[in-house]
C-alpha cells in the first residue's frame, strides 16, 4: 500500500490494477481500475439515534493534492432525463465526478481513444463498505481518457465535477463513444 503523499502523479499509470493508495490519515482512498480511479472519502457518523448524519469530504487538497493535483474548479452539472453529456477527453486535466443524489445513479462511460478499451461505472450518493467502514464514492478520470455521463433516469440529476484546470475549450477533444 502506498500513501498518497508519497506518490508522484506522473507515476500513477505505472501502478497495477486494483492498487490502493491511502492518505496518511487513512480518511481518503484511491483504487486503480482499468480506465479510472475510484475515490473513497471516509463517511464519519455524527449525531444521535434518529438525528444522525454521515459527514465526508469530496476533495481535500492537503490529502489528495499530490495524487490528484490542486483543486482548480468545482462545477455543478444538471443532466437532463435520458441525456448523455461529454463525449470528450482532456490532455491536461483530471476530473473527479461525484453524484450527490441517493435515489438516482448516473452512468460514467469511459474510452481510451487510442486503444478503444471501454468501461462503464455507475455512481450515486449511496455509502459503500470498504475495510469495515463506510465511504462516499467518487470517480476520477485521468488525463487522456474519454468520458461521457449518461442520465438513465426520468428526472434531472446533478453531478459535481472537480477539475485540475478550468474546463475550457483549449483542453477538450471530442471522441466518438
CATH number at residue 97: 2.60.120.10
For residue range 18-61, list pLDDT tens digits in order: 999 888 788 888 899 999 999 898 888 887 776 777 777 766 66
Q: Phi and psi dihedrals of 7, rounded to 5?
A: -105, 125
Contact predicate 142/12, CB 8 Å = yes
Helix (H) or strand (E) holding 158: strand 157-163
Residue 174's DSSP bridge partners are 88
For residue range 123-176, list pLDDT tens digits in order: 998 999 999 999 999 999 999 999 999 999 999 999 999 888 877 778 999 999
Pinpoint the alpha helices (H) of the chain: 61-68
Contact predicate 28/4, CB 8 Å = yes
For residue range 99-116, list pLDDT tens digits in order: 988 889 999 999 999 999
User: For the residues 60-81, what does the mean pLDDT come to?
Assistant: 75
Residue 4 has pLDDT above 50, yes or no: no
Q: Which residues contact 154 (CB under 8 A, 6 or more apart)?
A: 81, 82
Query: 10 Å Cβ neighbour count for 49?
Result: 5
pTM: 0.82
User: Domain span at residue 80?
Assistant: 2-174
Contact predicate 89/158, CB 8 Å = no
**pLDDT score of 10:** 52
**pLDDT score of 66:** 59
Q: Count structural domains, the chain.
A: 1
**pLDDT score of 168:** 73
Amino acid at each position: 500500500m502506498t500513501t498518497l503523499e508519497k506518490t508522484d502523479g506522473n507515476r500513477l499509470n505505472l501502478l497495477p490494477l486494483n492498487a490502493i493508495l491511502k492518505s496518511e490519515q487513512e480518511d481518503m482512498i484511491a483504487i486503480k481500475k482499468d480506465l479510472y480511479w475510484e475515490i473513497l472519502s471516509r463517511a464519519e457518523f455524527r449525531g444521535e439515534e434518529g438525528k444522525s448524519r454521515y459527514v465526508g469530504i469530496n476533495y481535500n487538497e492537503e490529502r489528495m493534492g499530490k495524487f490528484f493535483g490542486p483543486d482548480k474548479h468545482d462545477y455543478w452539472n444538471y443532466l437532463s432525463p435520458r441525456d448523455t453529456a461529454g463525449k470528450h477527453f482532456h490532455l491536461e486535466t483530471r476530473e473527479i465526478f461525484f453524484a450527490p443524489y441517493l435515489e438516482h445513479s448516473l452512468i460514467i462511460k469511459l474510452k481510451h481513444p487510442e486503444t478503444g478499451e471501454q468501461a462503464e461505472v455507475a455512481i450515486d450518493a449511496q455509502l459503500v463498505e470498504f475495510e469495515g467502514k463506510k465511504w462516499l464514492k467518487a470517480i476520477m478520470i485521468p488525463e487522456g481518457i474519454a468520458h461521457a455521463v449518461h442520465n438513465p433516469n426520468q428526472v434531472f440529476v446533478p453531478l459535481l465535477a472537480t477539475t485540475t484546470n478550468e474546463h475550457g475549450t483549449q483542453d477538450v477533444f471530442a471522441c466518438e463513444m
